[in-house]
Amino acid sequence: MSIEIVETVAGLRHEIAARRARGERIGFVATMGALHAGHARLIERAAAENDCAVVSVFVNPIQFNDATDFERYPRTLDADAALAAAAGAQIVFAPSNAEMYPRAPLTHVDVDELSAGLCGAFRPGHFRGVATVVAKLLNIVQPDVAYFGEKDYQQLAVIRRMAADLSIDVEIVGVAIVREADGLAMSSRNRHLAEVERALAPEIYRTLTQLRDEIAAGASSAAELKFAAGEALGVHGLRVEYLEFVDPETLAPIERIAAPVVIAAAVWVGATRLIDNLLCPLESRG
Ligand code: PAF
């Protein structure tokens, strides 16, 4: 299937306006490229539920608080366009930095409390950069629906709230995490893992499922569970940046687990930081 690559805001607006005039419904998937099967799931959903699926590919400098991480981020536009086309997209929007930020922005979007904990505590300014670029992208594309992966659970919560608070006329849809056969959550960062690290990385999901099972069996002390998880991952040489039990809506940390929680973690596997999360519904508790 052929795909159109558009590099300018004006060009994209022109294309979207023509499609709108034909009555098309627009679905949108925002990405930083290095697309994998997890992104393909989002794009397939956007393509199935809309007349036109637009995929943005933009490595957003203002959400990186580490210049090396930004430089190291994989840039694979040709392969991304091929994957997007195969997943059913009609348009890839791939602007340059200068197109997105013709001058240093003086306007930013802060989503206060939801951005404070978890990744936000370790990556100052990250969610400000995410909320700002997603607000810009939603404003440029003006989709009916935008799809985001649940792997970035906090990001999804921040974007939902930002869209609601700013009255952006879009439906935000969360799509379930896509995992490798051994449980590792798909991520563009997985390609940084050396072979031995790749073999260890599924320990993250294994630990999360173990915690979920213990909670289902009645464990309720977050501190005790955190300690055990840190030890279990440490045995494999993985370093926990954070592992928290949080309220699924507010993301407030929970110390005594008595209602559904999300277990959210960021773990270093060598020089690669991976995140994952798992919902514990507690329905199996007596
Ligand atoms: O999840 C990502 O890839 C990015 O944070 C996003 C949403 C495309 C904003 O740059």
The pLDDT of residue 154 is: 98
Q: Is the CB of 115 under 6 A from ligand 1?
A: no
The pLDDT of residue 285 is: 61
Q: Which atom of ligand 1 is nearest to the CA of 149?
A: 1
How far apart CA 6 and CA 167 sit, in angstroms, is 27
Average pLDDT value for residue range 174-181: 98
Q: Is the CB of 63 under 6 A from ligand 1?
A: yes
Reported confidence tier of residue 112, pLDDT bands at 50, 70, 90: very high
The pLDDT of residue 218 is: 94
The pLDDT of residue 215 is: 96
Average pLDDT value for residue range 181-203: 96
How far apart CA 203 and CA 23 sit, in angstroms, is 48
pTM assigned to the model: 0.96
Q: Which atom of ligand 1 is nearest to the CA of 130?
A: 9
Average pLDDT value for residue range 250-259: 96
Nearest CA to ligand 1 atom 2: 31
How far apart CA 29 and CA 6 sit, in angstroms, is 15
What does each C-alpha distance from 142 to 89, 131, 139, 189, 285 come to in angstroms? 16, 15, 5, 29, 43
Reported confidence tier of residue 2, pLDDT bands at 50, 70, 90: confident
How far apart CA 225 and CA 231 sit, in angstroms, is 10
How far apart CA 105 and CA 154 sit, in angstroms, is 24
Give me the percent of the chain exceeding a pLDDT of 70. Answer: 99
Please say if the pLDDT value at position 105 is more than 90: yes
* Kind plus residue range of the DSSP H or E element containing 68: helix 67-72
And the tokens for 123?
């990556």
What are the DSSP calls for 84-147, one per residue?
Answer: HHHTT-SEEE---HHHH-SS--S-----HHHHHSHHHHHSTTHHHHHHHHHHHHHHHH--SEEE
The pLDDT of residue 1 is: 64
139 or 188, greater pLDDT:
139
The string of pLDDT tens digits covering residues 212-243 is 999 999 999 999 999 999 999 999 999 999 99
Q: How far is the CA of 50 from the centre of ligand 1 (A)?
A: 21
Please say if the pLDDT value at position 137 is more than 80: yes
The mean pLDDT value of the chain amounts to 96
Q: How far is the CA of 18 from the centre of ligand 1 (A)?
A: 26
Reported confidence tier of residue 69, pLDDT bands at 50, 70, 90: confident
Nearest CA to ligand 1 atom 5: 130
Q: In what order do the strands lie in the sheet with 272-280?
A: 239-246, 261-269, 272-280
Q: Is the CB of 80 under 6 A from ligand 1?
A: no
Please say if the pLDDT value at position 113 is more than 80: yes
Please say if the pLDDT value at position 284 is more than 90: no
How far apart CA 262 and CA 152 sit, in angstroms, is 12
- Going 197 to 199 to 202 to 203, the CA torsion angle's sign is negative
The string of pLDDT tens digits covering residues 18-61 is 999 999 999 999 999 999 999 999 999 999 999 999 999 999 99
Nearest CA to ligand 1 atom 8: 31
Q: How far is the CA of 213 from the centre of ligand 1 (A)?
A: 31
Nearest CA to ligand 1 atom 6: 31
Pair 91, 47: CB distance under 8 Å: no
Reported confidence tier of residue 286, pLDDT bands at 50, 70, 90: low
Phi–psi pair at 232, nearest 5 degrees: -60, -40
Q: Is the CB of 158 under 6 A from ligand 1?
A: no
Max Cα–Cα distance, the chain, nearest Å: 59
Residues marked as catalytic: 39
* Kind plus residue range of the DSSP H or E element containing 273: strand 272-280
Nearest CA to ligand 1 atom 1: 31
The pLDDT of residue 96 is: 97
How far apart CA 182 and CA 186 sit, in angstroms, is 11
Pair 197, 205: CB distance under 8 Å: no
Pair 189, 272: CB distance under 8 Å: yes
Q: Is the CB of 31 under 6 A from ligand 1?
A: yes
How far apart CA 59 and CA 221 sit, in angstroms, is 39
Q: How far is the CA of 29 from the centre of ligand 1 (A)?
A: 9
